[in-house]
Each structure stands twice: as C-alpha cells, then as structure tokens.
Structure 1
Amino acid sequence: MSYRLLLLGMMILCAAHVYAQQGRVVVGRIDIEGDRITKRSVILREIGMHEGDIIPRDSLELMVNRNKQRLFNLQLFNEVDQDVVDGRGDTVIWYIRVKERWYIIPIGILQFADRNINTWWADQGHDLRRISAGLTVTDRNFRGALETLSITAQAGYTQKLGLSYILPYVNKQQTHGIGITGSMARSRQIYYTTAGNKLRFAGDLTGPVVWQQAEGGLCYIHRPGYAKKHTIQAIYKRIWVGDTIAMLNPGYFADSSNVARFAEVNYRYEYNGVDNWNYSLRGEKLVATTVARVGMEGIRYQAFVNYEAGIFRGIGKRWYAAAISRGRLMLPQKLPYYFRNGLGTQTDYVRGYEYYVTDGYNYGLLRLDLKKELFSRTWSLPVRYFTAVPVRIYPKVFFDAGYINGPAQNGNTLNNTLMYSIGAGVDIVTLYDVKVRIELARNHLGQNGLYLHFNSE
C-alpha cells in the first residue's frame, strides 16, 4: 500500500511539473468533512472530480460554484462550503465541508382528497373527512449511498399501504441503478365523471369501499452524467370500482367493466441543466416520457407522449424570467373516462382555473413568469439537521395559456377552448425544499381568484 501511495505522489508531482507552464493545476487531495452518513463516493460522483485530475487554474472559482450547486441539488445537505488551497508545486488541496440534513422525512401527514386547497374549501365545504391522515416516511439517503427507501401508511379518505426502494448505483462507475415499487389503496368515495368542468363524486364516506387499486413495478435507471437520466419502468396495475360507479358511468372503463387490468412500459428522459433542481432560476430543463399500455380487462391499449420543457434566465440584478411548456399527444383518441385525465386533475393546469377540470386527449400548456428576489436570508441555529434555515421571497407576475381537445359533453365547455390567464403572486422557498405559492389570477372567463399551492410552477 505504501509503495502505491508513493507512486501516486510521484505521478501527481510529475503531472504538476508538466502542466505548470500551461496554467493548470493538479488536484492533489480532496478532503471531505461532515459526511457522517453520506459515502464519499456519492459526493465525488456528483462533483465529477477525483484526486489526480488536471484542471485550468483560472477555472477554480467556476468549479467551486458549480460543485456547491451540484451538492445542494442532491438535497442531502443544508450547508456546503469549499476551499481550494495551494499545495506543493502546482497541486491544490480541495476542502469540502458539508452539514447533512435530516434524511428520514415524514410526508403527507395531512393529504387532501381534492386537487388543491381551494377546491377542498370552496367546492367540498372544507369537509375534514376528505383528508387522509398518515405518514409516508422516506429515507432519502438510506445506508449513505443516496438510496431511497419509502414506506407509506395512510388512513382517512384514502387508505393506502406502499413501499418503494431505489438503488441508484449498482456498478462501480455509478451510472446504473434499479428500483422496485408496490402499493395498495382503497376509498369509499371517488369521482366517476366530469360535468360542467367539475368532478362528480359517488360513494358514502361512511359506507362500503367503492374503489381499490393495486400495483407493482420494476425500474432501471441509467445516469451517464450529472444532468442526464434515463428511466425504464415496467408496471402491472389492477383497478376495481363498485357496481354503483360502473352503473353511473358505463364508460368509466371499457366494455362497461368495473375492473381494469393492464401492463405498462414507460421510458422517461430527464435533462436537468438548471442551477437549482428544487426552484430553478437559471438554465434549461427537459423531461419527456413515452408510455405504452396493453390492457387485459377494462382497456384495450393506450399510448402517449408527454413532455415538460423549461427555460430560466437571470435578466438583471435579482430579476428572473421563466418559460415552461408542457404537453401530451395520445392515441387512440377514444378512451374510457378513467384514462383521459387532462388539465386540472394533477399538476398540469392553467393558473386561474384551479376550480375546473378539462378532460381530453392532446393538450398543451404554457406558463410565463417574471419575478424578483425581494428577500433572501439564512438563519443559523444550534440544532442538528436544522443548522441553516433559509428563506427566499419572490414577488412575480405571470401569464398562462392552455388548450385540450376532447369531447365537449355534460356541460364541459372548456374543452377545445383556448384558456388563458394573467396574475401576480409571491413564491416563498424555505427549509427542506418547502415551497409556498400564493397567486391572484384572472382567467379568460373574467373570474378572479386567490390560490394557494405547495409546489413549483
């Protein structure tokens, strides 16, 4: 071992001598402090740098800033500090100091059955029985290797048990990973159709179960570089609804069935070339997913492609602009009700239309933002895992537009119609990637509304 260390040292010194005249330096040593749980190999993989690497001296500051942001994007650390110190000859010593987060995070203590807080409050009379209580306990750094282990136990409106495990690295180069997921859920009430651009529910909150779902899947992950990731997933899913649901909407599944069973294969490509994966201000992002479903019961086949593309720019001192586009192309154009969720049922919606749902097939969505960083401060606390509490506040103005094609029936007047809105609001970003959006929007129907969300645009 000592012979090998001596040989490595001689090689580093020789390399330093060769590259000294070219304004380059050799990374002689990388010291990491504070990684009590996180493995050293995980940190080195993210920064893409190792002892013995040769880099231009005038790039040191750029690499310090880049490495700091990359380590923050792991969402494993509350603080990241770096120092580069000249060593012997033209070598440098790279010091990295991190303060780890609390990795075991409980999520979903209170989960609304409805699409957002506004809908729950206004349309459902803020009925507390429409809240699911439970825990999704996620260890985001299981065994210190960036593995994710998540266990869900939930009661209330929707009862659920779930387990997922992601092993991001299975090879020495840390480019390949695998995962497994499984879950079971049930509820005594679900929505069975859309009428007047509103979801209509059936079932008694104290009555028998009217919806059950079980699924399991395997995934393969290939991450060749810092910003790019490919995921292939195979899933089997079975969904059952009570006879009441099938009777109220015979087209809920195909052939008036009250059961849908299908196998799904999907491929997802991600390019995250943004500064902050949690709340982006600069850079570009692209996520594209291709899905193919083969039905065994309740559905014949379905294929669709959806995407999300974002461009984020700093346009002045503390001023930022963003353009985000999302869309979907689907085949066939005639599908059972359950499989044509469109705008409004999940995270894709035109702001200002939070109270509405538009089902359909192909859709497009555009969001434009202009914001200013009004406040940014970090408080230090003598509390482990909460050593730094950041708060950033961004007032903004925005414009949204969206369109979806689909059957305009049951009073669903927003299908095949250009929806658009303007508005203003404020984003608040704080500890553990918590985001709060408060937005005032006016839509093309002339309606004004104040909305509250807990995610990014």
Structure 2
Amino acid sequence: MITQKWPIAGLVLTVFLLSSQIMSVYAQTDSSQSVIVRSVTLEGNVKTKDRIILREMTLHVGDSVRLADLPGRVQWDQRNINNTTLFVTVDVTTQITPAADSTQLAQLDLTVVMKERWYIIAYPVFDLADRNFNEWWYDRGRDFRRVVYGGRLSYRNVTGTNDRLQVVIERGFLQRTILSYSKPYIDKAQKIGLRVDVSYATNKEIPYRTQFDKWVYTKSEDVLRERAYASLTLTNRRGLYHYHTFDTRYTRNTIADTVARLNPDYFLDGRTRQQFLAMSYNYRYDRRDNVVFPLVGKLFTAFVGVSGILPSDNFNFLDLSASMTRYWSMGGRFYGAGSLRARATWPTRQPYFNLRGLGSSIDMVRGYELYVIDGQRTAIWRNSVRYQLLNVRKQLNWLHVRQFNTVPIAVYLTAFGDAGYVSSTVAEQYQSRLANQLLAGTGLSVDIVSFYNLVMRFSGTVNAQGNKGFFFNLAKEF
C-alpha cells in the first residue's frame, strides 16, 4: 500500500554551472594570432565517405581560426564525428607550421583518425514484452512466457553515407514485423534526409486498463489487437546542431470485441477500430558531447502532432511537448545535468489506448519505474550529479577484428533527484493513487558505458511515498 509520507528531508537539487574547456599548449606561438587550415586528412574511414565526416566539422581547408579558439573547435569537431555513431573511436590531432614571415599566417594540418564499427549486425532477439526489466522482474513473476524472440537485421552505413536498413521479425508474446530505411542526406548540400517505415504487430495478451497505476492484462487464444502503420519522414538539418523533422503517418488499429466489452473507452464508445492520418513536426537543437551518455552540452526539443486529418478518421488528437536539458562540468571528475520536460494533449476525453502520462523510459520520474500514471498533462524535472570512477580504452590485441578489438569503458557514480506531476481527469475512473499530486524520487546509480552504445545502469531509489527499490536498465543502439 502506498502511504503519503516523505522518507527524506529533501531532494537532491542540482546547481546549474557551466564549465568546459580543453587544455593545450602551442609553444612559441601567440594565442591571439590566427592560423589557416592547410589540410584535413581522414584516416580509417574504410567505408564511410569523406563528405559524411567533413559535414560534421567546423574546420575546413582555407578556414582561419584564432589559436585561442582552436582547442575548443577541435574538441567539438571530434565530438560531432563521434556522435554519428559510425565509429568505435575518433581522434583528432593538429600540427602547426609557423609562418615564413610576419605577412603570412601559420598553417594548420588536421588529421582525423577513426576506427569504424561493424555495420552489419544480424542477431537473435530474446527480449521482454514488458515496459522494462524491472516490471517483468517484480510485477510479472519473471515469467518467461512474456518474452519476445526472433531476429533483427541492422545494416548501418549501407552506402557509406550513414544510411540504415532495419528488418525486425519478432514472435512469442508479441508478433511484429518492421521494415525501415533511412538516409540522412538525399541532396547535394547534405541537408535533406528521408526515412520510410512499415510495421505490423499483433497481440494475444494486452493491457486493457490501468488500476492503482498498474496495467491490467487480458489474454486469449485468438488475436486481441492488431496494429499497423506506414510513415514517411522528411528531415532537414541546418548547420551542425539544428534538426527539423516532418512526419506523415497512417495508422490502423483494431481490437477484439472482448477488449471493447472489458473497457468501452479503449477506443472510446465501444469501438473496435481506430484509423487516422497524423502529421507532426519536431525541432531538436542537439549540442552534446556524446549522444549516448552526455557529460557536457545542451539539448532542446519541441514537438507538435495532429491526428485525425482525413474526414474518414475516427481519432482526433493534438499533442504538444517540449524539453530542455543541460549538461556541464563541475570541475575535476564531477558532472551535473538538469532537465525539464512538459507535455499536454487534447481533447480531455481520450481513448485509453492513447492516454499516456508517466511510465515510459523518456517520461519517467526515477523511483516510479513500476508504475504507469495516466493523464493528459505531464511535467518532469530531473537532476543528476555524476562522478567519473573510470574512463579507459582497452585494446584487445589478441582479437584480430578491428571493429571489436578496441573497448572503451567508463563507469560513473550518479546521485539524482527528480520531481514530476500528472494532471488527469481519469484518476478516479482508473483508481490512480499517484495522479494529480507531486511525485518525487531520489537515489544513487552506477552507470557503465561501453562500446557499441551499450549503457548499463544499476539504481537504488526511494520515492515520496516511501517505496524503495533496486532497478536495472539497459540501453543499446546499433
């Protein structure tokens, strides 16, 4: 039973400071002077085309740069190339040749050394159907009948232009097939990108309502829900850090009569079919040192989505959200992070299937990993202080596959404090104990970051209701 008491005197609140610099000494050179870029040499990009790498750099042949600004410029160019997630390692070195006389500028030679990833990964799927590992472990009795199995093919950098082909075939608790292809640039200026997705999924066991902030499931020998969609996404990247995304998606969902009888509000008014055309726009300003596990930088996102554009559509929905996150160095091995995120949806009366508040990996107040809190408006404030315990790069010389014999490993001890709120008009209907009140959680975690974008997090938390927990989360992107 959840009780209304505070187990802690206060939450960990992060003080926002911004400090990031790279130390470098250029002997016998005045840092107020400028140098001119004479050459940019790329090494190690066996498949990746040069233009994809140069697109990420601010320093090009013929550019002049003040020596005082050079370390920061080089550092961010290295980070930008690394954030393409095409390489295991990226190193940038500089060499300055003094000018022959005072009427000329010194010359700068840049060398970028990369080690490419293994781009074709076909692997078996053995995954959990639940929202996260913790829900499966604590609430679903570690039931292996709730697993998803099958195979996935992820083919990155198909043509050497950072494009991606993905094929997913999953069976078991969930039957799903996905086909996706994305190409970041289809124009000569490398600004416009395109993505196509097609998906079809069926379930014989689904959550049909929420009770006490937990999903309640029903199952059958027959299919209870079908979901299908096709989408076309257009992207526009301005400069290095500004991303615009325009998405058009047609969705068709159906449920069995059994589900509609159990919860007539599943699609509203006892309907068994939901079909609609949706269009959305997303803006992202992303200047982080590492997109997988950022330590320094800024991220801002804004989203607007409209569903129910066609006259035949039976679902109308407006979705607005925005978030801003800041990461900064606190000196030494300490790093801070603070994030604000808000979301609002209309109309007030929404199908249960589309009604989501807090409970996903993105919209989560840490300490409430086991709860799903439904509502039409949400707000989250997340704060962290990290201490770097370890940051090394292991070279496995005995492994003669270059894409796998370099293993970066970083370990962080993180203290965090979060707060959130869900505004809900269905709290009484679904017997929610957490909606329409302040949510707060704090705790400690050990975060392990390794190659191929693998992040493992072990967390101990306590929330405002006095519930304590130990949770494990895994994030991985190919």
Question: Is the pair's TM-score, using the shorter chain for normalization, greater than 0.5?
Answer: yes
- Residue of structure 2 aligned with 1:408, choices 397, 404, 427: 427
- Residue of structure 2 aligned with 1:399, choices 410, 417, 428: 417
Aligned counterparts of 1:172 and 1:27: Cα–Cα separation in 2: 24
Name the counterpart of 2:341: 326
- Tell me, which stretches of 5 or more residues in structure 1 are unaligned? 1-19
Residues 299 and 364 of structure 1, relative CA distance in 2, 3 Å threshold: farther
Q: What SS does the corresponding residue of 1:379 show, helix, strand or coil?
A: strand
Mapped contact 1:130–1:156 kept (Cα < 8 A): yes
Q: Cα deviations across residues 213-235 of structure 1 (Å, max 9, x unaligned)?
A: 11001111100111110000000
Deviation at 1:159? 1.2
Name the counterpart of 2:383: 368
- Residue of structure 2 aligned with 1:161, choices 167, 174, 177: 177
Structure-to-structure mapping, 1:62-141, within 5 angstroms: 62-86=72-96, 90-106=106-122, 109-141=125-157
Name the counterpart of 2:5: none
More deviation, 76-85/210-219? 76-85
Mapped contact 1:313–1:320 kept (Cα < 8 A): yes
Q: Does 1:447 align with 2:447?
A: no
Q: What SS does the corresponding residue of 1:399 show, helix, strand or coil?
A: strand
Q: Cα deviations across residues 160-208 of structure 1 (Å, max 9, x unaligned)?
A: 111111111122211111111111111111110001111011113xx11
Q: Cα deviations across residues 5-49 of structure 1 (Å, max 9, x unaligned)?
A: xxxxxxxxxxxxxxx9x9333222222111110000001001133
Name the counterpart of 1:60: 70
Mapped contact 1:233–1:265 kept (Cα < 8 A): yes
Q: Does 1:152 align with 2:168?
A: yes
Deviation at 1:436? 0.9
Aligned counterparts of 2:288 and 2:39: Cα–Cα separation in 1: 29
Name the counterpart of 2:197: 181
More deviation, 164-173/37-46? 164-173
Name the counterpart of 1:46: 56
Sequence identity of aligned pairs in percent?
32
- Residue of structure 2 aligned with 1:248, choices 242, 256, 262: 262
Deviation at 1:143? 0.8
Residues 57 and 353 of structure 1, relative CA distance in 2, 3 Å threshold: closer
Residues 298 and 157 of structure 1, relative CA distance in 2, 3 Å threshold: farther
Residues 27 and 232 of structure 1, relative CA distance in 2, 3 Å threshold: same
Q: What SS does the corresponding residue of 2:409 show, helix, strand or coil?
A: strand
Q: Cα deviations across residues 215-273 of structure 1 (Å, max 9, x unaligned)?
A: 00111110011111000000000011111111100110023111100111010111112
- Tell me, which stretches of 5 or more residues in structure 2 are unaligned? 1-29, 101-105
Deviation at 1:337? 0.7
Which structure has more relative contact order (CA 8 Å, sep 6+)? It is 2
Deviation at 1:106? 4.6
The structure carrying a bigger helix percent of its residues is: 1
Aligned counterparts of 1:136 and 1:286: Cα–Cα separation in 2: 31
Aligned counterparts of 2:267 and 2:277: Cα–Cα separation in 1: 15
Q: Does 1:37 align with 2:55?
A: no
Deviation at 1:298? 7.8
Mapped contact 2:88–2:403 kept (Cα < 8 A): yes
Residues 86 and 317 of structure 1, relative CA distance in 2, 3 Å threshold: closer
Name the counterpart of 1:350: 365
Name the counterpart of 1:25: 35
Name the counterpart of 1:435: 455
Mapped contact 1:253–1:299 kept (Cα < 8 A): no
Using structure 2 for the length normalisation, give the TM-score. Answer: 0.87
Aligned counterparts of 1:270 and 1:58: Cα–Cα separation in 2: 30
Mapped contact 1:254–1:298 kept (Cα < 8 A): no
Q: What SS does the corresponding residue of 2:437 show, helix, strand or coil?
A: coil
Residues 345 and 62 of structure 1, relative CA distance in 2, 3 Å threshold: closer
Mapped contact 1:254–1:299 kept (Cα < 8 A): no
More deviation, 77-86/41-50? 77-86
Counterpart code for 1:46: E
Q: Cα deviations across residues 273-311 of structure 1 (Å, max 9, x unaligned)?
A: 221111111121111111100076784311011122111
Q: What SS does the corresponding residue of 2:371 show, helix, strand or coil?
A: coil
Counterpart code for 1:271: Y
Q: Does 1:221 align with 2:235?
A: yes
Q: What SS does the corresponding residue of 1:42 show, helix, strand or coil?
A: helix
Structure-to-structure mapping, 1:231-380, within 5 angstroms: 231-294=245-308, 299-380=314-395
Aligned counterparts of 2:217 and 2:250: Cα–Cα separation in 1: 26
Residues 315 and 100 of structure 1, relative CA distance in 2, 3 Å threshold: same
Counterpart code for 2:427: A
Deviation at 1:149? 1.4
Deviation at 1:60? 3.0
Residues 23 and 108 of structure 1, relative CA distance in 2, 3 Å threshold: farther
Mapped contact 2:277–2:313 kept (Cα < 8 A): no
Aligned counterparts of 2:371 and 2:81: Cα–Cα separation in 1: 39
CA RMSD of aligned residues (A): 2.0
Q: What SS does the corresponding residue of 2:53 show, helix, strand or coil?
A: helix
Mapped contact 1:78–1:387 kept (Cα < 8 A): no
Name the counterpart of 1:386: 404
Number of aligned pairs? 435
More deviation, 131-140/248-257? 131-140
Aligned counterparts of 1:209 and 1:384: Cα–Cα separation in 2: 46
Mapped contact 2:59–2:73 kept (Cα < 8 A): no
Aligned counterparts of 1:136 and 1:269: Cα–Cα separation in 2: 29
Q: What SS does the corresponding residue of 2:56 show, helix, strand or coil?
A: helix
Deviation at 1:450? 0.4
